[in-house]
Amino acid sequence: MWFVAVGVLMLVMNIAGIGPVGEWTWADKWWLMLAPFGLAMAWWGWADLSGWTQRKAMAKMDAKREARRQKSLDALGLQDPRRRKR
C-alpha cells in the first residue's frame, strides 16, 4: 500500500509541478514515476505466493477468536481468580 501511496504522490507532484519530481518529463523519467506501482505489484505478488497475506489474516482471526473466548469466560465467571473484576 505504501508503494501505491508514494506513486500517487509522485504523480500529483509531477502534474502540479512541485519539487524535483515536477521537473521530470514523461519522455525522460517515465520509469521513475511508474516504479512505485511496479514495486507494489511485485510486493503483492510475493506476499501472496509466500503465504504472508494468509498468515496475517489467520493471526487476525485467531486474535479475534481468543478475545471473544476470553470475553465469554469473563461473562461466565470462569476466569482466573486473580483477574476477577470487583
Return the pLDDT at 52: 86
Distances in Å between the Cα of 72 and the Cα atoms of 14, 67, 69, 81 are 54, 9, 5, 15
Distance CA 6, CA 67 (A): 35
Same domain, 13 and 44: yes
Return the pLDDT at 81: 63
Same domain, 61 and 79: yes
Q: What's the domain range around 22?
A: 1-50
Same domain, 68 and 42: no
0.75 surpassed by pTM = no
Alpha carbon distance, N-terminus to C-terminus of the chain: 45
Same domain, 12 and 24: yes
pLDDT over threshold 70, residue 85:
no
